[in-house]
Amino acid sequence: MAALDELKDYVREITEISLAAALAAWDQRTHMPPGGAAARAKVAGRLERLAFERRVSDRMGELLAAAEREGAPAEVDRALIRVWKRDHTRHRAIPPALYQKFVETTTRAESVWEKAKAASDFALFRPHLAEVVDLVREIANLIGYKESPYDALVEEYEPGLTASALRPILGELRRELVAFLKELERGTHPRELPGGKFPLDAQRALCRQALGWIGYDFQAGRLDDAVHPFTIGVAPGDVRVTNRYREEDPFSSLFGALHEGGHALYGQGVDPALAWTGLAGGASFGIHESQARFWENQIGRSRPFWQFAHPHLAQHFPTLASTDPDDVWRHVNRVQASLIRVEADEVTYNLHICLRFELEVDMVEGRIAVDDLPARWNQAMEDYLGIAPPDDAHGVLQDVHWSAGMIGYFPSYTLGNLYAAQITETAEREIPRFWDKVEAGQFSPIREWLREVVHRHGQVYLPDELVRRITGDGLSAEPFLNYVRAKYGEVCRL
């Protein structure tokens, strides 16, 4: 197994460089002073280029070919060859100098996006986004595609997925959810909870407590503030969570913590044997998102969860002590059109993804210019949700993804919703007294079940194969649609 061992050593070197870049990225988004932005862009670009050059090198190709000839009897080793061969073939088409330019451009663009969002000024961000889109188009053309340049981009996040495959999935959800929204209008809307200011320190304390409930290991991670919440693994045994807080809404930060905690549990639950192999990530971004959505929505927005969590909420926020668990459950499951994707309810959330998907495809295929994005965004919000953003910060500037060059990522959020519903159906069957455990705050059996069927496998299995192993079926929208119809029919007392 000499060839395979050499390949593993080479992969470890790449992984070590990539994790150093991840640490630099985490610092940039949490603690780096503004004056360090230009230098950090150079450092990040150099680290990413070093890793990239090794990923696409002739040496990597030789090692992969030799390992294939030698054969790999172990499933994990076969997965290592498959994943790195796909990565090598895909990215070898991109010149290292272009890749470094992409990293430097997106690093600068992300810093400018933060300023533009704070000022609600798309014009400040526009030239940087235009440069990112031009680079993304160039990269897509170099990678190659059959139908749309978007296919080359979405493949990065969801292997095998294309724009033509996404359209019917999103189309079905749009048709069904719009019809269901009309039904919900006949229902009873939850009463308002007491308002006011909810101290940020109390919110941080509750979020930290909630991460503890679900089993996030603070000895292998940390919780920090960020403009846009994210989770990042910077080393084996070090998976970090960030969150943001709004003084007028304690639930936004709580669900943000549960969401990012779901991502982090995935990272913390990967089999240690996969460390340094490049297989420690999720099977796909959609699968990873399913774990975040599971804890945020299926658990965190469930009635049994609030039977357990309500006393803790009241302890942190005395103004909510006059409420009862059912009041809070109905409140956090209100269905109403909202401007901000990350705060949208489960019924309308996928409409936000439809909007972004359609804009991304049109932008990459050259049907709309970057200058036209704010107007197109606002019109789509009116068409889909019946509301228009009052400014850029609540509209086209609300997400970090485009500044980071992550065009093609947004569909993973919808796939995560669908996978989460399918996984929950299976968990209810396989974990005895599932909802009784949630109501009692006994989350460890659920976490350990997820660790066994999802987390520990990392990228050993392709997403479709993993979902079939867990649920016995492939991707389907039906479990999600059944879930929202049953739950929100009850919430709105249809």
Asked if the structure places residue 124 within a domain, the reply is yes
Domain that holds residue 126: 2-144
> What would the pLDDT profile of 130-189 be if each residue is shown by its tens digit?
999 999 999 999 999 999 999 999 999 998 889 998 988 888 998 898 889 889 988 888
If one compares 98 and 192, the residue with the highest pLDDT of the two is: 98
Which of these is catalytic: 114, 156, 260, 346? 260
Centre a 10 Å sphere on the Cβ of residue 72 and count the other Cβ atoms it contains.
18
Displacement of CA 255 from its chain's centroid (Å)? 14
Same domain, 131 and 174: no
Containing 55, the helix (H) or strand (E) segment is: helix 37-55
Q: Which of 144, 173, 202 is the last residue of a domain?
A: 144
**CA gap 262, 257 in Å, rounded:** 8
Asked if the structure places residue 184 within a domain, the reply is yes
Query: What pairs with residue 235 in β-bridges?
Result: 238
Q: Which of 144, 176, 200 is the last residue of a domain?
A: 144
Per-residue pLDDT at 487 exceeds 70: yes
pLDDT at 339: 95
In three-state secondary structure terms, 235 is strand
Share above pLDDT 90 across residues of the chain, in percent, rounded to a whole number: 86
Closest CA to 347 of 335, 332, 355: 335
Q: Rounded mean pLDDT of the chain?
A: 95
Same domain, 82 and 227: no
Same domain, 177 and 138: no
Cβ atoms of residues 55 and 87 within 8 Å: yes
Same domain, 230 and 312: yes
Q: How far is CA 436 from CA 112, 299, 305, 307, 442, in A?
A: 47, 12, 10, 10, 8
Burial annotation 459-470 (CB, 10 A radius, 16+ → b, else e): bbbbbbebbeeb
Same domain, 104 and 214: no
Closest CA to 168 of 365, 406, 356, 354: 354
Task: Please state the domain count of the chain.
Answer: 2
What 8-state DSSP symbol labels residue 442?
-
In three-state secondary structure terms, 22 is helix
Asked if the structure places residue 181 within a domain, the reply is yes
The question of whether 260 is a catalytic residue gets the answer yes
Closest CA to 457 of 287, 222, 215, 213: 287
Q: How many helices (H) and strands (E) does the chain have?
A: 20, 3
Cβ atoms of residues 373 and 122 within 8 Å: yes
pLDDT band at 236 (very low <50, low <70, confident <90, very high): very high
> What would the pLDDT profile of 102-121 be if each residue is shown by its tens digit?
999 999 999 999 999 999 99
pLDDT at 262: 98
> What would the pLDDT profile of 30-65 be if each residue is shown by its tens digit?
999 999 999 999 999 899 999 999 999 999 999 999
Same domain, 74 and 170: no
> What would the pLDDT profile of 349-405 be if each residue is shown by its tens digit?
999 999 999 999 999 999 999 999 999 999 999 988 889 999 999 999 999 999 999
**CA gap 409, 465 in Å, rounded:** 21
Asked if the structure places residue 274 within a domain, the reply is yes
Asked if the structure places residue 36 within a domain, the reply is yes
**CA gap 311, 20 in Å, rounded:** 42
Q: What is the mean pLDDT of residues 122-132?
A: 97
The sign of the CA dihedral 332, 337, 341, 347 is positive
In three-state secondary structure terms, 418 is helix
Query: What pairs with residue 246 in β-bridges?
Result: 249
What 8-state DSSP symbol labels residue 195?
-
Asked if the structure places residue 182 within a domain, the reply is yes
Same domain, 70 and 120: yes
pLDDT band at 258 (very low <50, low <70, confident <90, very high): very high
pLDDT at 1: 65
For 233, residues 6+ apart whose C-beta sits below 8 A from its C-beta are: 19, 22, 239, 240, 267, 280, 281
Cβ atoms of residues 323 and 185 within 8 Å: no
Centre a 10 Å sphere on the Cβ of residue 247 and count the other Cβ atoms it contains.
12
Q: Which ranges of 191-335 does DSSP label H, i.e. alpha helix?
A: 200-214, 250-269, 285-293, 303-316, 325-332
> What would the pLDDT profile of 445-460 be if each residue is shown by its tens digit?
999 999 999 999 999 9
**CA gap 407, 423 in Å, rounded:** 27
Query: What pairs with residue 240 in β-bridges?
Result: 232
Q: Report strand pairing: 231-235 vs 223-225.
A: unpaired
Helix, strand, coil share of the chain (percent; to 5): 65, 5, 30
Asked if the structure places residue 151 within a domain, the reply is no
Same domain, 33 and 172: no
Q: Which of 101, 117, 144 is the last residue of a domain?
A: 144
Same domain, 105 and 191: no
Cβ atoms of residues 144 and 91 within 8 Å: no
**CA gap 190, 193 in Å, rounded:** 9
Same domain, 220 and 267: yes
What is the token pair recorded at 217?
A: 């290991």
If one compares 343 and 260, the residue with the highest pLDDT of the two is: 260
Same domain, 314 and 425: yes
Q: How many residues does the chain have?
A: 494
CATH number, domain of 291, equals: 1.10.1370.30
In a 10 Å sphere around its CB, with 0-12 CB exposed, 13-18 middle and 19+ buried, how is residue 182 labelled?
A: exposed
What is the token pair recorded at 67?
A: 């390992």
Asked if the structure places residue 149 within a domain, the reply is no
If one compares 214 and 167, the residue with the highest pLDDT of the two is: 214
Cα angle 290, 293, 295; round to 5: 110
Same domain, 313 and 439: yes
| Model confidence, pTM | 0.88
